[in-house]
Each structure stands twice: as C-alpha cells, then as structure tokens.
Amino acid sequence: MGDRSAAATAWAAFIAATERPRPWFSRRAEELNAALGDLVTSADVALVFAVLSPYERAWVHRRCEETSLLHESAAGEEQRKALTVSKPDDWTLPERPRVPAQRPRRKRRRREHDDEQEHEMRRARIDAWREDCITCGTTLNAFGALITWRGWGPMCAACVEADDELNAYKWEFAECMM
C-alpha cells in the first residue's frame, strides 16, 4: 500500500511540475490527469478512453509523450477515436518530463512577413500619393491635393475640374494624410 501512495505522490509532483494554463477545459484536463494518475499508481497496464474530443485526445497524447507512456488512437464510435494508453514493461515515471519537439511556426512567420511587405507597399503608395497627381504628375502639397474616398490617390484641383465624371465623386482635402 505504501508503494501506491508513493507513486500517487510522485504523480502529483509530476503534474505540478508540468502545469500549464488551460483556459478552455481545465476541469476536463484535471479529470484526464486523474485518470492517467490512476493508471500510473495502479497495477493496471492499459487504459482505454472510449470517447474523447479532438482537444482531449491531443491533451492525453501530450501527457503520454511527457511521461513516456505508450498511446495509440483507433476508430471509435461515430466520428470520434478511442485512445489506448498503456505502460511499457519496465516503465517508471520520469523525474523530468520529456518535452516533445516543437514544430516551427512557419505559417505565422510567413504571415507576419507578408503583412510587413504589404504594409511597406501600402506606405510606399501613400508616400507616392503625397508627392504627385496621379493624372498629370504635378508635385502637390497638402493643401493642393484632393483624394477620392475610393483610394485612387491625390489629384490636383485642375485635373478634377477637367474630368466631368470625377466631379460626381465625393472628394476631400488630403491634409488628413500629411
């Protein structure tokens, strides 16, 4: 009986050492940790989770990676998979958790890079708008440029007055861009 309580204490210490924030299902994570703790402290060699959501299954897989337990998903009822967790023959709870390798976050880095490029291109267009009229190319200042609400760019007053179609659009002074 003393061996079981020592294993339970070791499991509790292991869980405390690997604790991480779980905002969306902390109560369920505690239940899964308790079930894995029962497997660790008992003489049982396997535990089957019949119905788990994808998030719960990922949580159990992550815990099994940290503790060096064997884990395997198989088709279960409906669209959910059953998860079997088992202890190897000479298994002991590791003193330090084995942290699985992190995958690089290439998509996020690529997205940030693309956002930076788009921001630079937009800034270059705005800088170009500040300088020249898009139709005649004359250099404009903040009070001589008119811009369209549709973002076409600055135009001088002479070009706007010369085009009958452009008079129908709503214009404003470009001093807000300076």
Q: Per residue in 95-112, pLDDT tens?
A: 766 665 566 666 777 778
The residue with greater pLDDT, 25 or 34, is 34
Whether 77 and 14 share a structural domain: yes
Longest dimension (CA), the chain: 96
Whether 81 and 116 share a structural domain: no
Question: The CATH number of the domain where 34 resides is what?
Answer: 3.30.1370.50
Examine residue 167 and state whether it is found in any structural domain, yes or no. Answer: yes
Domain carrying residue 53: 2-86
The residue with greater pLDDT, 4 or 136, is 136
The residue with greater pLDDT, 178 or 171, is 171
Assess whether pLDDT exceeds 60 at residue 27: yes
Domain boundary among 86, 116, 135: 86
Whether 61 and 130 share a structural domain: no
Whether 40 and 79 share a structural domain: yes
Examine residue 26 and state whether it is found in any structural domain, yes or no. Answer: yes
| Count of the separate structural domains present in the chain | 2
Examine residue 98 and state whether it is found in any structural domain, yes or no. Answer: no
**Distant-in-sequence contacts of 82-86, Cβ < 8 A, 24+ apart:** 82/48, 82/49, 82/50, 82/51, 82/52, 83/48, 83/49, 83/52, 83/57, 84/46, 84/47, 84/48, 84/49, 85/36, 85/39, 85/46, 85/47, 85/48, 85/49, 85/60, 86/45, 86/46, 86/47
Whether 20 and 63 share a structural domain: yes
Examine residue 91 and state whether it is found in any structural domain, yes or no. Answer: no
Q: Per residue in 152-177, pLDDT tens?
A: 667 777 787 787 776 666 554 444 44
How much is the average pLDDT of 42-53? 81
Residue 176: the pLDDT is: 42
Whether 130 and 158 share a structural domain: yes
Mean pLDDT estimate for the chain = 72
Whether 72 and 124 share a structural domain: no
Letter for the amino acid at 103?
Answer: R
Whether 75 and 149 share a structural domain: no
Residue 157: the pLDDT is: 75
Assess whether pLDDT exceeds 70 at residue 33: yes
The structure's pTM equals 0.44
Q: Per residue in 67-91, pLDDT tens?
A: 888 888 877 566 667 788 888 888 7
What torsion do the CA atoms of 110, 113, 118, 120 make, to the nearest 10 degrees?
-170
Examine residue 19 and state whether it is found in any structural domain, yes or no. Answer: yes
φ, ψ at 74 (rounded to 5°): -140, 160
